[in-house]
Chain A
């Protein structure tokens, strides 16, 4: 594996390897000195065509903790706003010697174009493209699920394990969510059962072949006692035409995670949210601040997972070939 473009590219063993490597990285982040010399002398470019704070900071932290040099390139106020194409931007970065390009783009497929065009020799990491994929988010969610529901719950070391048998519910704006797409594929690869819950207007056309179930009734799905509930942000910036649901209050009543629904969850069930949260819309303060919520932990795990991805993509004579000589 030279690039990390889509959760669907990962085999079960590759995904488990990334999670295991992330566990090793997370252990190093509990030390007083968190910086490791592993990627010294390498350059990681954060190429962000779309606004992002947490993902960019997470990748930047991950690269810096591994001693790579980080160059942040955001479209706003750059040559892109003057009309430069992705190709010319990529060629410029290549000329500067980028070993890895972390790209977020509003157009689905832009990371694929960058990886397959030959414009850059570096590894390409997809940090979110349009409504398509956000593989490191799915990996950090899988890491968080594994840590809590495979590791802590059974008091065992989850290293080497997948998510077989877990029941995960993803609720909210599936239509606009690259997080949902990535999670459905990755969690399925890792053996979990995924159920999507949303109003029909927020379920994409063509969802049928996805390896998951779809429901329009949140309460019915909660009665089945899921192991984890992942709330997605209502992406109002992508709903310029409106009309996806009659009112925010109605959405909250039918699909929001409030104190009432929180109380119905089994004791072990955890609550995830990729952030940023719309408190009071898809998730209530009761749910977001409850002990079940692992939302802050997801942020810390994001750094470990991105360190793992950078390590696996940027080291090794032949990448991710296993340990055979």
Chain B
């Protein structure tokens, strides 16, 4: 209830222990391969890492952004992984604050050089309705004026409610609305995996 959002914290949508009928969509190896590929795509699209900053959307985008920054640093010379990564909390820009239990507000931290005139790559775990990304774009708007904003997600599960698409996708995953996609990360859950729970008959569950 009061944990700093930067640190491991079990999320209500994504409990640590999967129930029995969960299917594994991505293993830990699949996940790191996808992140390495996305890292290369970012460098290819932006012709290097100049002025590229990676902003992880709290909470699960944060570890992914750190890993992606390390990929960039490994591939491209002169990139300091810790200097290009930042964290973005979008809670106070969400449009569903009244539908959910009160959300804990996380801490936004920008890279040292800020985001003005930079190419910002937003990083999140699951792209679903697109509303989190809309909130992130609004939050960015208040923080500075990036030259361009791109979006990287580990899983795109469809069901968009807004005209938003990802520039870099780890895996496209067609889902039913009542299925649940859960991303486990070593930093918070002890292991890396993407799982899908088939619909449990409890009706559609809003996840993102």
Contact = CB atoms under 8 A, between A and B. Distances in A.
Interface of A: 13, 16-17, 20-21, 23-25, 27-28, 31, 33, 35-38, 66, 157, 159-160, 311-312, 315-325
A317 B1 contact: no
Interface stretch (B75-83, B90-98, B164-172, B181-189): B90-98
A202 B100 CA distance: 47
A161 B142 CA distance: 30
B99 A323 contact: no
20 contacts: A17-B2, A20-B2, A20-B4, A21-B105, A23-B107, A24-B105, A25-B105, A28-B92, A31-B143, A33-B142, A38-B97, A312-B102, A315-B97, A315-B102, A317-B99, A320-B102, A323-B11, A323-B12, A324-B101, A325-B101
A121 to B, nearest CB: 14
Contacts of A325: 12-13, 101
B47 interface: no
Contacts of A33: 142-143
Task: Report which residue of B2, B12, B93, B142 has the largest number of chain A beta carbons within 10 angstroms of its beta carbon.
Answer: B2
B89 interface: yes
Given A17-B1, A24-B89, A311 B105 contact: yes
A194 B100 CA distance: 38
Interface of B: 1-4, 11-13, 89, 92-93, 97-108, 138, 142-143
B2 A37 contact: no
A323 B103 contact: yes
Contacts of B97: 38, 315-316
Contacts of A324: 12, 101
A69 to B, nearest CB: 17
Task: Report which residue of B4, B101, B107, B138 has the largest number of chain A beta carbons within 10 angstroms of its beta carbon.
Answer: B101
B102 A20 contact: no
B3 A160 contact: yes
B92 A322 contact: no
Contacts, number: 78
Task: Report which residue of A17, A24, A33, A157 has the largest number of chain B beta carbons within 10 angstroms of its beta carbon.
Answer: A24
Contacts of A31: 142-143
A37 B138 contact: yes
A132 to B, nearest CB: 27
Given A37-B93, A323-B12, A27 B2 contact: no
Contacts of B105: 21, 24-25, 311
Contact of B93 (A36, A316, A318): A36
A201 B167 CA distance: 72
A37 B106 CA distance: 16
Contact of A24 (B1, B93, B106): B106
Contacts of B104: 17, 20-21, 323
A33 B92 CA distance: 14
Contact of B102 (A36, A66, A160, A319): A319
Contact of B98 (A16, A21, A317): A317
Contacts of A321: 101-102
A144 to B, nearest CB: 18
Given A17-B1, A27-B108, A38 B98 contact: no
A288 B2 CA distance: 34
Contacts of A23: 107
B101 A316 contact: yes
B142 A318 contact: no
Contacts of A319: 102
Given A27-B107, A317-B98, A325-B12, A37 B1 contact: no
B101 A322 contact: yes
B12 A315 contact: no
Contact of B101 (A24, A157, A159, A318): A318
